[in-house]
Each structure stands twice: as C-alpha cells, then as structure tokens.
Amino acid sequence: MENLGALALLLGLCLSVYTILAALAGKWKQKPYLAASAERGVAAVWALVTAASAALLYHLFTDDYRVSFVASHSNRDMPWGYKLAAWWGGQEGSLLFWLWILSTYCFVAVWAYRRKHRDMMGYVIAILMTIQAFYLLLVVVPASPFQMVSSGGQVTAMPDGRGLNPLLQHPMMRIHPPFLYLGYVGFSVPFAFAMASLITRQKGDQWIATTRIWTMVTWLFQTCGVMLGGRWAYAVLGWGGYWGWDPVENASLLPWITATAFLHSVMMQEKKGMMKVWNVVLVAATFFLCIFGTFLTRSGVVSSVHAFAQSPIGKYFVTFIAIGLAGTIYLILDRLDYLKSENQLESVISRESSFLFNNLILLASCFSILWGTLFPVISEWVTGEKITVGAPFFNKVNIPIGLFLLFLTGVGPLFAWRRTSLESLKRNFLWPSMAALALGVGLAAFRIWNFYVLMSFMLCLFVALTILQEFYKGARAIQGKQGGTLVGCAVELSHRNTRRYGGYIVHMGMVLMFIGFTGQAFTKEAMEEMQVGQTLQVGHYGFRLADLKKANSPNYHSATVTIEVNRDGQPFATMHPEQRFYHASQQPTSTVAIEAQMKEDVYVVYAGNSNDGQKPVIQVFINPLVNFVWLGTFVVVFGTLVALAPSKVKMVWPRTQVVGTTGATGRGGDWATEAKQADEGMRR
C-alpha cells in the first residue's frame, strides 16, 4: 500500500506538469482537445492525490508502524478520531492533507467554471496546477509521508508508535486544522482567476463576480479555523487566554486580514469600477501570505509551539514565493493600462473614502503583525542580539488600530456612495454617539479609567446601535408598506438584500467579539498549592479542593482533582481539572475545567504539584465576557451565510444608477430606495 501511495504522488506530479503544458498549449495553439485534456488532467490528479491520501489513512488505521510518519504520529491505543487527526498532525501528512484539499478545490473550480470562463480557463488551470505541482514536489522529494522505517538498510516495523502530541489530542484538533486549511488553500482559486484575467487582458470584472463568492466561502473557513484555534488554545493550553501572538497564530491572521480588505474593496470595483489594481494586489497578497504562513510554520525560521519539526522544505518555499511574486509583480505592472479606474471620487465623506480608510487600516494592522513576527529575525541579523517580540508589542501596536477599525465598522456602511450630507450624518450618528458617550461617562463613574477599555466599550455600543438602526429603519419602511411584525420585516429586509444585511450581521459579530476581547482587561486570577479541604477565594467565587483521584487508561494515566465552587457562598459548580501523562509520548499535559457563563467563565487548571509532590497547585481564572468572543464568531458565520444566500430580489442596474443614491436623499445608506426598488422588482 505504501508503494501505491508513493507511486500515486509521483504520477500526480508528472500528470500535473503535463496538465500545465496541455492547458497552455491548448490556449496558445487554440487546440480544444488539449484544453479538454487539461481539464481531465485536473480530475486525474485529484484522483491520484485522493488515492495517496487513502493509502496514508489505511496505514494510520491499521497501525502500520513500518511507515515512519505513522510511527511518529500515532499509536495503538489512540482513539480512531485522533488517528484521523494524525493525518494533519505531522509535517508530511499535513502537506498531503493540504494537497488533497487543493486538488479538490481545483477539481471543483475547473468543473464549475470551465464553460463560463472558457477564455481564461486554460491559464486558470495552468496556475492552479503549478501550485499543485509545487506541493506534489514537496511530498515526493523532501517530505514524503510514505518514507519507511529502516534499520541496517532493511525496512523494519516499530512495535508501537510515539503517538500524537498530547496537546493535539483534543476534539477541537479534529476540526480546527481542516477549517484553517480549507481557508488557506481556498485563496489559490481567486488568485488563479485574478492572474488569468491579467494574462488575458480582461477589461471587465468577470473574475471578480466569479471569485467573490469563492473568496467569501474561503474567508468563512479561515475565520472558523482561526477562531477554532483560539478556542483550542483556550480549552487546552491552560494559560487562561486564547490568543498569544505566537508567530504561527499571526501567520494565520495575516491572509485573513488581507482577504477581509479584499471583500470590502471588491465592492468598489463592482459598483464604481475603482480600485482595480488594489484588488488584484490584495488577492495576490492573500495568496502569498497563505504560502508564507505555511513557510513560517514549517521552516523553523521562527520558533513556535504550533510549528512542525524543522525540515529542509524552507528553501523550496522561498524559491516558490520568490518566483511567484516576481511573476505576479511583473504581470500587474505590465497590465496597469487594463486596470484603470472608471470613476472618480466626489467627496472625502463618502462610502468610497470609508472603504479606502478601511483598507488602509486593515493593511496597517497586517503590516504591523507581519513586522512584529519577523522583527526578531531582522534585529538578530542586524545587531547580532536575540530579542523577543511578544504580546506586549502586538497589543500596544494593534489595539489602537483595532479600535479605529471598529469605529470605521460603524460609520463606513452608513456613508452614502458619492457623498454624504451633514444632515444625513447627524441623523444617522446622533443617537448612537450620545449613547456611547453616556456609556463612557457611566463606566468612568464606576472607576473604569483604562482609556482603551472605555473606548472599546463605547465604540462597541456605537457600532451596535448604528447597525440596529439600519435594520430598524429598513424594517419600518417595509412594515409601513406591507404590515407584519418588525422582526418579520427585518427578516424580509435581509432576504431582499442578503449581501448588505448579511454584512451588517457580520459587523455585529465583530462587535460581540470586541466586547469579549475587552473583557480580558477584567480577568482575575490566583494560583495556590492546596490541600484537600482547603479553600481559595477569587472575586465572588470560593474554590474548595474536595478530592484528588488517580486513574489509568490505555493511552494515559491521570490525576484528577474535584473542586467544589461556590458563588457568594451558594453552591455553583463542581469542577474536575486533570493532569495526564501520555504513555507513548512520555509527555505530561493538563486538562482544563471550564464553567462557562455569558457573563464570565470560571476556568480552573491543575497546574502542577508542590515541590514535595504532596499538594496540587491549582490555578484559577475568572474570565469576564470571554464567551462573547465565541458568540461573535457564530454571529459572523451566520452573517456570512446570510450574505452568501441569494437575494430574494435580483437588483441589477448599470453602475451609474446603482451609485446614484446620495446624501441628497437624506439617508446615510440607501435602504429606502432599495426597499422601494425591491418592491418594484418583486411586482415585476
């Protein structure tokens, strides 16, 4: 079976090279049979990569410890779910997993769009297959998942495997990496379409329309992946937080930020034919940041708890990124004439400007994170001294940027296209601003002086109210015409323009997440060596160590403490934090106990034992508002799904008409006109 897997990958590499050549020759020589052959080549490569993946899974599930990857990342007593997770738990397997997702995406994209974009499909296939060929090269040459364990030149089998890293043996690890990879890899498709449109000198926005939904779905996966990673860190790592500004965490955030910027600026191109160069740059930046993130995780350039073992694949990535970047920059510069803006800016106070600012702030945030991640390497190179760039740096730089972004989230969507009148500004922002100021005064009265905390809560309220106001006004307009409940009308409103109102829901999700982030400022914690019967008081909560039990399972042995928690003297919960020692990997780990409430989480860690080994060390965190982060994520996911759903009324107008609603109507947005037009559309 291992030969079958390795052979499938080798054949896949050869076939992907053939597919690139066939796609290009089909295009250049205008030979339809070669173009059709290239399309079939995409399907064949997918079949071969799937076969290789199935072979690796077979080795994992049959405990075949002759295969080096299986011996290093699995063991007999691991539950089947973690044997599946071992596929992406190590360097070689995760590259194969990445490749399998990429080949699946290519297959779907090519078969879905082959007729719609026949003029650029040849180049799309060539670009996607070049990326695939690169990953196939990696799994064939430097990082083969089918390498055998050998001793004295003979293939041999280990009696048992070393098992998956204990930190990865958590239910979240079964879904966090797949989501993240679905996000990372998915950005290859918009990149391929963008480059193909440049190569074929497309003047229109066809590639934008095609890839917008693709980008949104990919962005959704990436969002889920990043947040699931945060949830995993919170539930597993036991330090009470969910984001540590680790280089690998940062690497996952970078393409998410540029993709977010793209999802906003793409509206400028669709509605006004502006920011064409910028959109191509953003798509390319997102793709290369995905590749760069993979490089960071796997090359050993920066040290990280999330990184895979060091390997020689770094130089392959550097070469690929360098060639890819050079080609992309050349293409963009060469095709600047085809990317000229079709419109002009009429006012600084307009939706167009807010998009420009939004993009600038997002990119500034992206740059600061990238800079902070790489600065230790740069500094050591220049000064020869090792330094650390950790959470204090990232927080100092990114909190103000994040707050400004939150502000733009509130004001941007309420600015009208072209220009916004003063009257409209007043009408839209007066009450939200007053309410936010009142909140600030109230919080200050209760001795919450921290500037960022105050600003964050005030902005959260401001943005939430502006969004609710939009729903309210739109729903009232529909209610006035058709009757019904306000909630029903709000649903109807969202259904009529899913993209717009889905976007608002996403923004509301971000507000909830910011509330959760701000809650961190009020975290309370304590750590103590405790005897059975002893009590520890933290805030309103009392923690009594009731019991200590030891147990043994095939995979690990464990020590579990029972903690009885009371709140203001009343029984609240019984919690069981645990320490585990995994037999196969000989590694200890702790399992956190969390009692989640909307207001705050009670988070208890069995952090170790006293020096004499007699008393457990118990660490307690009270994390206020942290569940708003997870709730916000659900709302973001829901909002994105709403935005992806087709609108009830298809509203298609020439650009000039679409952008015609201005501040002259007295509305910040154009909800009233849209509602009217939607009604007319429905009647038609």
Is position 274 an interface residue for another protein (rule: CB under 8 A)? Answer: yes
Is position 389 an interface residue for another protein (rule: CB under 8 A)? Answer: yes
Between residues 607 and 678, which has the closer beta carbon with respect to another protein?
607
What per-residue string of b and e applies to 403-424 under the rule 16 or more CB within 10 Å gives b?
Answer: bbbbbbbbbbbbbbbbbbbeeb
Is position 614 an interface residue for another protein (rule: CB under 8 A)? Answer: no
Residues between 403 and 422 that touch another protein (CB under 8 A): none
Between residues 324 and 577, which has the closer beta carbon with respect to another protein?
577
At 305, the amino acid letter reads: V
Between residues 116 and 340, which has the closer beta carbon with respect to another protein?
340
Q: How far is the CB of 239 from another protein (least distance, A)?
A: 4
Q: How far is the CB of 600 from another protein (least distance, A)?
A: 7
Q: Which of 282, 397, 455, 511 binds another protein (CB under 8 A)?
A: 397
Torsion of CA 352, 357, 363, 368, to 10 degrees: 180
Q: How far is the CB of 427 from another protein (least distance, A)?
A: 13
Residue pair 282/334 in contact (Cβ under 8 Å)? The answer is no
Is position 386 an interface residue for another protein (rule: CB under 8 A)? Answer: yes
Q: Rg of the chain's alpha carbons, rounded to an integer? A: 27
Between residues 326 and 387, which has the closer beta carbon with respect to another protein?
387
The Cα–Cα gap between 477 and 498 comes to 17
First to last CA, the chain: 61
Is position 353 an interface residue for another protein (rule: CB under 8 A)? Answer: yes
Q: Which of 446, 483, 652, 683 binds another protein (CB under 8 A)?
A: 446
Residue 606's DSSP bridge partners are 618
Q: Which of 81, 204, 312, 392 binds another protein (CB under 8 A)?
A: 392
Distance of CA 617 to the CA centre of its chain: 35
The Cα–Cα gap between 355 and 577 comes to 47
Q: Token digits for 403?
A: 């707050």
Is position 542 an interface residue for another protein (rule: CB under 8 A)? Answer: no
List the x/- string, 47-86, binding to another protein by CB under 8 A: ----------------------------------------
Instruction: Choose the binding region for another protein from 69-77, 438-446, 478-486, 548-556 (rule: CB under 8 A).
Output: 438-446
Q: Token digits for 368?
A: 């600061």
Report the candidate in 123, 107, 105, 132 with the shortest Cα–Cα distance to residue 39. Answer: 107
Distance of CA 574 to the CA centre of its chain: 34
Q: Which of 112, 209, 348, 487 binds another protein (CB under 8 A)?
A: 348
Instruction: Choose the binding region for another protein from 111-119, 144-152, 201-209, 427-435 (rule: CB under 8 A).
Output: 427-435
Is position 238 an interface residue for another protein (rule: CB under 8 A)? Answer: yes
At 37, the amino acid letter reads: S
The Cα–Cα gap between 193 and 199 comes to 10
Residues between 571 and 590 that touch another protein (CB under 8 A): 579, 588-590
The Cα–Cα gap between 663 and 660 comes to 10
Give the CA count within 13 Å in the CB-facing half-sphere of 34. 17
At 474, the amino acid letter reads: G
Q: Which of 61, 367, 472, 638 binds another protein (CB under 8 A)?
A: 367
Binding residue count for another protein, defined by CB under 8 A: 79
Angle at 529 between CA 527 and CA 530, to 5 degrees: 110
- The H-or-E segment that residue 603 falls in is strand 600-609
Is position 225 an interface residue for another protein (rule: CB under 8 A)? Answer: no
At 258, the amino acid letter reads: T
Report how far apart, in Å, the C-alpha atoms of 470 and of each of 434, 458, 466, 493, 500 are.
17, 19, 6, 10, 11
Residues between 616 and 635 that touch another protein (CB under 8 A): 619, 624
The Cα–Cα gap between 274 and 280 comes to 12
Instruction: Choose the binding region for another protein from 21-29, 115-123, 356-364, 639-647 (rule: CB under 8 A).
Output: 356-364
Between residues 121 and 604, which has the closer beta carbon with respect to another protein?
604
Backbone angles phi, psi at 624, to 5 degrees: -70, 145
Instruction: Choose the binding region for another protein from 53-61, 117-125, 157-165, 431-439 (rule: CB under 8 A).
Output: 431-439
Q: How far is the CB of 214 from another protein (least distance, A)?
A: 28
Q: Which of 36, 387, 486, 645 binds another protein (CB under 8 A)?
A: 387
Q: Which of 214, 457, 628, 671 binds another protein (CB under 8 A)?
A: 457
Is position 439 an interface residue for another protein (rule: CB under 8 A)? Answer: yes
DSSP string, 283-347: HHHHHHHHHHHHHHHHH-SS--TTPPPP-TTHHHHHHHHHHHHHHHHHHHHHTGGGG--SS----
Residues between 471 and 530 that touch another protein (CB under 8 A): 522, 524-527
Q: How far is the CB of 375 from another protein (least distance, A)?
A: 5
Is position 608 an interface residue for another protein (rule: CB under 8 A)? Answer: yes
Is position 355 an interface residue for another protein (rule: CB under 8 A)? Answer: no
Give the CA count within 13 Å in the CB-facing half-sphere of 118. 7
Q: Which of 63, 246, 601, 670 binds another protein (CB under 8 A)?
A: 246
